[in-house]
Amino acid sequence: MNEQTLDRLKAMKLHGMARAFQSSLASATDQLITPDELIDTLITAEWDERANRKQERSIKNAHFRYKAMAELIDFSGERHAFKNHILRLTDCSFIAKQENVLITGSTGLGKSYIASAIGHQACTLGYRVLYEYSNKLFARLKLAKADGSYIKDLARIERQDLLIIDDFGIQPLDAQCRAILMEIIEDRHGKRSTLLTSQVPVDVWHEVIGEQTVADAILDRIIHDAHRLELAGDSLRKRKGDKLNQPNDSTN
């Protein structure tokens, strides 16, 4: 009868319940378990199982650049000055408020890693997240306009609670990219959060976007009330490279 119960639970895709039931059979003792306690155990196991699957699916669908976690962010050296600011962002309260985040700084300072860590944390909290590298995003949406999937792609982007656009401003936007960015930002303004990382200071974004009227409209929606994290200091990549190249003291 127990085997039949397990088979039925699995057939109904109640895998959490099945595992909990199987575990209870394996560890059965003379201690009596009331029916309500058993039901609570099974339902809790199924609830946790579905929550974990949803979280794993959310992280997979986000397509993060790094498998990053907030607790693994390096706060050594000059980065220590930004610790409190970064940790405040990783609580993801800005998403509930539909606020934006702008992370700027020269190459090698860990902007993409921090953005990925924030995104991972958002997934664990149940938010829908999408990570996009800016040049690839614009290239894909240009192709989408040609094959007729543009509206569908825009709708998918609009549904995300947090959209991460990494390495924005690597090169100036052409007219088509400006129009695409304007549509993305307009769809999300006041409804969803957008996080942008860039090697280019925010003050220069107007020139990157081009065409004053469009740039004004985009920046007004992005920058207003945004959380700004302006990283500074030595490149983390360079620092790690220097450590690897240091001579071994034991040979001296």
CATH architecture of 63-233: 3-Layer(aba) Sandwich (3.40)
Q: What is the pLDDT of residue 63?
A: 87
Q: What is the pLDDT of residue 136?
A: 95
**For range 7-11, the mean pLDDT:** 78
Percent share of the chain, pLDDT over 90? 55
Give the pTM: 0.77
In sequence order, the β-bridge partners of residue 194 are: 163
Residue 30, pLDDT > 60, answer no
CA dist 250 and 248 (Å) reads 5
Residue 36, pLDDT > 90, answer no
Could you report the per-residue pLDDT of 78-130, keeping only the tens digit for each?
778 889 999 999 999 999 999 999 999 998 899 999 999 999 999 999 999 99
Residue 59, pLDDT > 70, answer yes
Domain boundary assignment for the chain: 2-25+37-61, 63-233
Question: What is the average pLDDT score of the chain?
Answer: 86
For residue 157, what are the CA distances in angstroms to 97, 120, 139, 193?
18, 17, 15, 11
Q: What is the pLDDT of residue 243?
A: 47
Could you report the per-residue pLDDT of 141-199, keeping only the tens digit for each?
999 999 999 999 999 999 999 999 999 999 999 999 999 999 999 999 999 999 999 99
* Angle in degrees, CA 124, 125, 131, rounded to 5: 65
Could you report the per-residue pLDDT of 71-81, keeping only the tens digit for each?
888 888 777 88
Most confident of 218-222, 230-234, 237-241: 218-222
